[in-house]
Amino acid sequence: MAAPLSTSEVLLIPKAFPSTESLEEVVQRYKKLRLHGLKVDPKSFSSTYSEESNFLPETWRSRVLNPMSKTFVAATDPDPGAQPNDTNFELIPETQFIGKDPHLVGLLRKEWVGIATLLGPIPLLASAVNEDNTTTKPWDAFIKDRKYNIPSGSPALEDVEGSHLVYLVVGMFISPEARRKGHASRLLEALIKEMREEASRHGTSKASITLQTEPGNDNAVRLYERLGFTVWDEALPMENMKGDISYMASLAKEFEFS
Ligand SMILES: CC(C)(COP(=O)(O)OP(=O)(O)OC[C@H]1O[C@@H](n2cnc3c(N)ncnc32)[C@H](O)[C@@H]1OP(=O)(O)O)[C@@H](O)C(=O)NCCC(=O)NCCS
Average pLDDT of the chain is 88
> Can you list the domains of the chain with their CATH numbers?
9-256 (3.40.630.30)
- pLDDT for res 235: 97
Residue nearest atom 1 of ligand 1, based on CA coordinates: 220
**pLDDT attached to residue 100:** 74
Q: Does any ligand 1 atom lie closer than 6 A to the CB of residue 223?
A: yes
Q: What is the pTM of this model?
A: 0.92
d(CA 162, CA 183): 34
Q: According to the model, what pLDDT value does residue 131 have?
A: 59
Nearest 5 degrees, angle CA 171-CA 175-CA 181? 105
Per-residue confidence (pLDDT) for residue 124, from 0 to 100: 84
Rounded to the nearest whole angstrom, what is the distance from the C-alpha of residue 188 to the centroid of ligand 1? 11
Ligand 1 binding pocket includes 219 (Cβ within 6 Å)? yes
Q: 111 alpha carbon to ligand 1 midpoint, in Å?
A: 19
Instruction: Say how many residues make up the chain.
Output: 258
Ligand 1 nearest-atom number relative to CA 211: 48
Tell me if 185 CB under 6 Å of ligand 1: yes
Q: Which residue positions in the chain have pLDDT lower than 70?
A: 1-7, 83-98, 125-134
Q: What is the pLDDT of residue 84?
A: 65
Q: Is the CB of 155 under 6 A from ligand 1?
A: no
Strands (E), the chain: 9-12, 69-76, 111-124, 143-144, 147-148, 164-174, 206-213, 230-239, 245-256
The pLDDT of residue 112: 94
